[in-house]
Each structure stands twice: as C-alpha cells, then as structure tokens.
Structure 1
Amino acid sequence: MKKTLRDLELSSKRVIMRADFNVPLKNGTITDDARICGALPSIQHILDQGASLILMSHLGRPAETGFEAKFSLKPVAERLAELVDAPVTLAGDCIGDDVAAQAAALQPGEILILENTRFHKAEQAKAEKGLEGDAKAARKAELAAAQEAMGRELAALADVYVNDAFGTAHRAHASTSIIAKFATESAVGFLIEKELKFLGDTIENAEKPFVAIIGGAKISGKLEVLKSLIGKVDTILIGGGMAYTFQKAQGRSIGGSIHEDDLMPTSLEILAEAKAKGTEILLPIDTVIADDFSVDANTQITGGGYDKPWEGLDIGPEATKHFCAAISAAKTVIWNGPMGCFEMEPFSHGTNAVAQALADSDAISIIGGGDSAAAVRQAGLVDAMSHVSTGGGASLEFLEGKILPGVDAVQDV
C-alpha cells in the first residue's frame, strides 16, 4: 500500500506535487478546467496543514527545446489563483538556480507553479528518431543521465514529493517517477488515491453482476484489457471498430469497416477463453453503416453482412437495447472505449445510449478515461457516474495489470 497525503506530517514543510494541468486551450484561454479542479483537494489539504507548495505539470507537446509561449502554464497559474485563497506565483522555468531561489523563499500557505516540465528534453528522455546502433545507445544513455539529474534537482526543491497526476502515472518521467528516487518522503495525492480505489479495490471486489463495456477502434489497443477481464467479469460488451475484427473472424462480411486481419485468430481465442471461464461476450447484433466517413453520408441499419463502400460506424438500435439491458441488470460496470464514431452526430447514438443507461443505473459505474470520459462529459453526465478516471492511458495500463511507474516509485506505508 502506498503512502498518501494522510500519512504525512506537513506542517512548515515544502511540498512539491506533480499535477496534471494538461488542460485544453483555445487562443490561450482554458476551455475546461476539470483537471485543475481535480487537484484542488490535495492542494487545499497541503496548504491547510501549514506547508508551502510547489506545483509542476506538462502542457501539450512542446518541442522540448526551451520556453514556448503557447505551452506556458501561465493560464493555469491564473486560473488556480482564482480557485484558491493563496498567493500563486509562476516560475520562469522548472529547474535552475532562479527556481531554486524562489522555492527556498516560499512561505507556508504560498504556491509556486513551475513552468512546463516538457520544455526540457530530460523530462521524457526520448531519443530522437533515426538513430541506430551505437549512436542510439549512446544518446539514450546521455538522456537517462540528464533525466536522473533533472529528477534529483526537482526533488531538492522540497522536503516532500507528492504525485497526484494519474494521467501521467504510466510514464517514467523525471517529474513523475525519477524524482521519487531522490525525495526524502513521497506519497500519492487524493486524486491518485481515488483512482486506485476505484480501478483497483472496487474492481477486484466488484458486486455482481459485473459488466465491462469495451470499445474503440482497434482490438490491438484493448487486447490486454480483454484478457485481464475474462474470468473477472460476468459479461463483456464489445462495440466500436474493434467489434468488426471479431465479426469478420466469425465469417461475417463487414464491407469497408476497420479491422485487423492479423488479430482474427486472437479474437476467436478470446471468445473461446471467455466461454471456458464463464464470461459472456456480447457483440453487436446490428450495425449503423455508412457509404462514407462523413456526417453527410448515406446510412443504413443492418443485422447482416454488407459490402464496400459501406462501413460500420456505430452499433445499431437492437444492439443498443441489448447492451443497455445488460447495463441495467448490473451492479458494477466499467466502461472503456466508445461504441462508434461518437464525435459525429449520426454515429453517436450508441455511445450516448450507453452513457445514459449508466447514468440511469444504480450500479457502481467506473469510466476508464480517454474517449469514454469525453463521451460522458459531452453528454453532461459526469455527475451521474461513480467515478470518471482522469487518465486514459494510465487507466488502461492499470486495468491490464501493468505497473504504473509514477505510483510504484512512491514510498510504501
């Protein structure tokens, strides 16, 4: 069990916390501050305990060659200053002598936000493409050393390190896991604690019937999740583009629908394993097909095979009824991946119906981040869910049973 904020004595200490402030921006203005708000419980607790706080995060995908105004955390600092009753200052960088001086001068109750950690290549330490052999090995070693140095420098800014950025917990970056190696004390924040509770404890001890809804474009992206859920859940509902690989493997004509021929044997193995372990897998019994990938395409509903140029872009109304019935009967539901191309209105009905069925259900509902979380937000149903994960990739890897470096590096109780 990992240490949490509750396990730490923070009075008069300086805390450095990794948050996920990778917020959407339009013309320099934050369009959704949910990620900032998600960090507020940890931020407020730290301040209430009489500590000073240093916050760090990445934002977007800068070139990793230094400061870029469009990726600055300035809008985040300005928004946070509106949300907390504390002085908030934005540093000019995340490492360096000036930052160290600002950190040392912090008083209890004050907040210093470091600039975008990804302005430095050492944060992610990814070698440039095109390198081969000895040159690649030498570059990777150089970057690994730089990453260690950055992690050490970040840790030296404070007495305690807290990771509350679940969205990057699956990344072994300088500000997520390397820093923990050099921190005297470390813990996870309330947001990560909540994520681990719902994605870990709640799923492991799920009240049955336990239903998993798995969607998305490709089976390859959800293969390990499917394997990990078989035997744990009672029913798996498969929608989205990945369903077409299963259907083609079963001999059904799927026209121009997205599919992965090389994974057809694997899909049949998954169906066989599920049957052997008592997990029911439901595939769509009908499909919304279109003659073009556009909002203006001609559409049909079919319960059988179809030829090109038609392609499946959403589950059909009968499949939607079956899926919603399974959700209504469940006591625990986890959802990862949309049922169709929900970004386009003609193909959003299946995904929206699943979201509404979850909202109407009395079941514990866990939304696994990414597109599923986006669909729930788009439908205005976030508050109706038990938990909406803040990490798409992190939640997926956690469900796959993988170790999350940003969590693993934190001290145990």
Structure 2
Amino acid sequence: MITLDKIDIKNKIVLLREDLNVPFDEKGILSTARIDAALETVRLLQEKEAKIILMSHLGRPKGRDEQYTLQPIADYLSEQLKQKVTLFNLGDPLPSLKSRSVALLENVRFYAGETENKEALAKQYAELCDVFVIDAFGVSHRAQASTTGVIQFADEVCMGPLLAKEITMLNQALDNPRRPTVAIVGGGKVSTKLDVLLNLIEKVDVMIVGGALANTFLLAQGKNVGASLVEPELVPMATQILNRATQLGRTLWLPEDVVVADSIDSPSAQVKNLAELANTDKIFDIGAKAIVSLEQILLSAQTILWNGPLGVFEREAFQAGTRALAQLIAKSKAFSIAGGGETIAAIEQFGVEKQISYISTGGGAFLEVLEGKVLPVITALQEREAQINDINTVKL
C-alpha cells in the first residue's frame, strides 16, 4: 500500500485524519496521549514542508454540539507546536496556509452524513486537499466519510506512519509470530469475544481465557461456577472451541482456582478450588494456583497478545490476577502487544506501560483485527491503489 514516504507533499495541502478522540470533562482534556501520538505525524509533515489540515471526531454528538468542539484540542496543538492552529468549519473559507502551517477542521461528527459515509460529504473533504493521509487506526474499522469515503475522491491518498505501524505490529504478532505464541482473552462475555476466540485458537499455541467469559468455558467442562455470570446459550460454542483446541494440539488455559464473594461489593473474598464452590459463590478473579501456572506459560512465550482483564481489577479485592498478568508480561522477554480500553486501563493502573512492546491505539479496530477481519480503511486503500495502477496501465 502507498505510504507517506512515497508521496511528494512539499507545498501541498495535506488533509490528515487522526484519532483525537480524547477523554475530557468540564475542566478540559484528561489525557493528551492520542494528540501527542498524532503530533509525531504532524511534525513529520512539517519537515516535508506540507500545508496541514487536521481532522478528527470527538465523542458522539448528534449534529453540532458545542460541548464536543475541538477548540481545546486546537489550543493544545498551538501550545505544543508553538504556532497558531486555527479551528475552522467545513464550508468556511479555508484558513491561509503556508508551508508547515497547521489548521484543524471542526469535529467531523458535526457534519450530516459523516457516520453514514455520504458521498457528498466525502467529496467536500477531498476538495480541501491535494493529498489525504489516513493515520487513525482507532477508526480504521469504521466506513465513514472522513475515513473510507474521502479515500475514493482525494487526488492522492496514502497511509500515515501511525496506522502503518499498527498494521505492521499486528501482522508481526498474528501472521509471522515467534513461537510459542500466547493470547490472553478476558472480559465480561463470550458473546463479545466469540469471533476473537474462534480466530485466535487457529493461530496461537496457548489461549488464556479469563474474566467472566471463562465461566462459560468452565461450565462447558462440567465445572460448578456457582452464581457467577455465565452465558448458558453459548456453552455449545464454548465446547466447540475447546474441542477445536484439542484437535489442533493447542492449550486452552482456564483457572483451577478462583477468588469468590457473594457480590462485587462484598468486604470479604475467598480463594477456592473450583470443586469447592458453593451455589451462591460468584467468581471475580483467578486464584493463587492459577497465577503460578500463568507464570510458567508467559515467561516461556515468545509472542504475547493481550486483550481483556482476568478479573474485576478496578476493585482491590479482585485485582491480583490482572496485576500478576500485567507484571508477568512486563517481565517476559516476549514481543508483547496489548489493546482494548480495559486492557490499557489495567496497564496504566499497574504501571507497566514501558514494558509492553506495543500498546495499540484502537479498541474496536484492534478487536476486528484479532477477529481476522480486514479493516474497511485497508480495503479502501487497496482498492484505490488498484484503481490507480489500472489507470497507469491504460496510460502506458
């Protein structure tokens, strides 16, 4: 696919789609991590003497809603770049742009047709620029006017360095991994991770299943899970995945002991073997024996994929499993890649950001890659490149 290094952008207007959807409250921006990552690409474009228009969404407004304005982001960009970054609306006169200057288009979700990927809006975006650069992995799973739509109509298009890095890292972990490869899939429900489980069992050597979704697998094995959260209707699917793991000679890891309580707010918790569970017990974390067995698996791994916690790590009584998991991955010499909102929250809570090889910036996009799906943005880039190649062939 066409990347930024293959296009001459000197003195050209570059429309740069980033993911600046940062958390915020009434006091302002809570985390600038996504903006800081995008600034690396902005500075690269400046080095190449481009005229830059940034675009992004923020939140989920239903039309124009000033609480979702990108003005605070424009102010932060101005501070970091030490130059004025002008916020403007689609349809307004384009700000005066010189080489290395930066403007910011107001929240793309203010404009009718954005989420529906309307052609008319995509064409309006394309008319703003000479070159469109898609660099937002976090929205690469969405076919919208500012992602896949504008790719069809801009004069020149390419993949930005942040998106390219995400794709490279995920390909390294999924398609050409060092082995043994271990995947950790945690979270609340099998239904939300079913496609991930089905895809990864075909690719990895060990799949660690944790969190509440492990309960359905334990139930499929005939284990007592007390009053824990389960999805009985998905027991047949869990059985199918367990059987597939056996057929392939893979290991599907489940905890042998767990931390239980009457409720998530209970002041007391107990560690029990599965055979000891009472009918009123609810599982909220893995136990000490399970943690020891995880250590053996993770410290011998060469590639680790992590998506989802092993317990309710937000509560001190139920955080030991996820804390141990984070610390073991940090200690491991494996290439490790992690993604998803809860996973990143756990990584930050336990202070292991610098020990994870790569932390993905995309939640939904990360999941879709783990599911084995081709992201719509990648498909659009491939189709546009094929179209350009066909035109060039005709010219020859």
Using the size of structure 2 for normalisation, the TM-score is 0.93
Q: Kindly state the Cα deviation for residue 107 of structure 1 after the two structures are TM-superposed.
A: 1.3
Matched with 1:23 is 22
Matched with 2:175 is 204
Cα distance per residue 1:263-295 (max 9 Å; x no partner):
10110110110111121111011111111122x
Give me the identity figure in percent: 41
The separation in 1 between residues aligned to 2:194 and 2:288, in whole angstroms, is 26
The separation in 2 between residues aligned to 1:328 and 1:85, in whole angstroms, is 45
1:365 partner SS: strand
Of the three residues 295, 304, 309, the one matched with 2:274 is: 304
Matched with 2:63 is 65
Instruction: Tell me if structure 2 keeps the 8 A contact 1:86–1:109.
Output: no
Q: Kindly state the Cα deviation for residue 72 of structure 1 after the two structures are TM-superposed.
A: 1.1
Task: State how 1:200-349 maps to structure 2 within 5 Å.
Answer: 200-294=171-265, 296-305=266-275, 306-349=277-320
2:126 is the alignment partner of 1:155: yes
Matched with 1:39 is 38
RMSD: 1.5
2:336 partner SS: strand
- Out of 247-256 and 49-58, give the one that drifted further: 247-256
The separation in 2 between residues aligned to 1:14 and 1:405, in whole angstroms, is 25
2:177 partner SS: coil
The separation in 2 between residues aligned to 1:377 and 1:82, in whole angstroms, is 26
2:65 is the alignment partner of 1:52: no
The separation in 1 between residues aligned to 2:332 and 2:282, in whole angstroms, is 32
The separation in 2 between residues aligned to 1:196 and 1:298, in whole angstroms, is 44
The separation in 2 between residues aligned to 1:113 and 1:364, in whole angstroms, is 36
Cα distance per residue 1:314-365 (max 9 Å; x no partner):
1112111211221111111010111111122221111111111111111101
Matched with 1:90 is 87
The separation in 2 between residues aligned to 1:390 and 1:77, in whole angstroms, is 21
Of the three residues 380, 389, 392, the one matched with 2:360 is: 389
Task: State how 1:115-126 maps to structure 2 within 5 Å.
Answer: 115-125=106-116
Instruction: Tell me if structure 1 keeps the 8 A contact 2:261–2:268.
Output: yes
Instruction: Tell me if structure 1 keeps the 8 A contact 2:173–2:337.
Output: no
Q: Kindly state the Cα deviation for residue 308 of structure 1 after the two structures are TM-superposed.
A: 4.3
The separation in 2 between residues aligned to 1:308 and 1:159, in whole angstroms, is 65
Q: Kindly state the Cα deviation for residue 310 of structure 1 after the two structures are TM-superposed.
A: 2.2
- Out of 301-310 and 265-274, give the one that drifted further: 301-310
2:105 is the alignment partner of 1:106: no
Matched with 2:8 is 9
Q: Which amino acid aligns with 2:114?
A: E
2:76 is the alignment partner of 1:79: yes
The separation in 2 between residues aligned to 1:368 and 1:65, in whole angstroms, is 30
1:213 partner SS: strand
The separation in 1 between residues aligned to 2:112 and 2:295, in whole angstroms, is 46
- Out of 157-166 and 77-86, give the one that drifted further: 77-86
1:288 partner SS: strand
Q: Which amino acid aligns with 2:155?
A: T
Q: Kindly state the Cα deviation for residue 43 of structure 1 after the two structures are TM-superposed.
A: 0.9
Cα distance per residue 1:240-262 (max 9 Å; x no partner):
01000001111112122111111
- Out of 82-91 and 247-256, give the one that drifted further: 82-91
Matched with 1:133 is none
Matched with 2:392 is none
Cα distance per residue 1:136-184 (max 9 Å; x no partner):
xxxxxxxx6xx11111101110011111111111001111111111111
The separation in 2 between residues aligned to 1:173 and 1:343, in whole angstroms, is 34
The separation in 2 between residues aligned to 1:186 and 1:163, in whole angstroms, is 8
Q: Kindly state the Cα deviation for residue 232 of structure 1 after the two structures are TM-superposed.
A: 1.8
Q: How many residues align?
A: 383
Unmatched tracts of structure 2, length 5 or more: 387-396
Matched with 1:129 is none
2:113 partner SS: coil
Instruction: Tell me if structure 2 keeps the 8 A contact 1:163–1:407.
Output: no
1:236 partner SS: strand
Instruction: Tell me if structure 2 keeps the 8 A contact 1:16–1:157.
Output: yes
The separation in 1 between residues aligned to 2:227 and 2:133, in whole angstroms, is 48
1:253 partner SS: coil
Q: Which amino acid aligns with 1:65?
A: G
**Structure 1's 28 and 176: CA in aligned 2 closer, same or farther, altered over 3 A?**
farther
Cα distance per residue 1:355-380 (max 9 Å; x no partner):
11111111101002321122112222
Q: Kindly state the Cα deviation for residue 311 of structure 1 after the two structures are TM-superposed.
A: 0.9
The separation in 1 between residues aligned to 2:137 and 2:49, in whole angstroms, is 25
Q: Which amino acid aligns with 1:124?
A: T
The separation in 1 between residues aligned to 2:120 and 2:253, in whole angstroms, is 50
Instruction: Tell me if structure 1 keeps the 8 A contact 2:261–2:284.
Output: yes
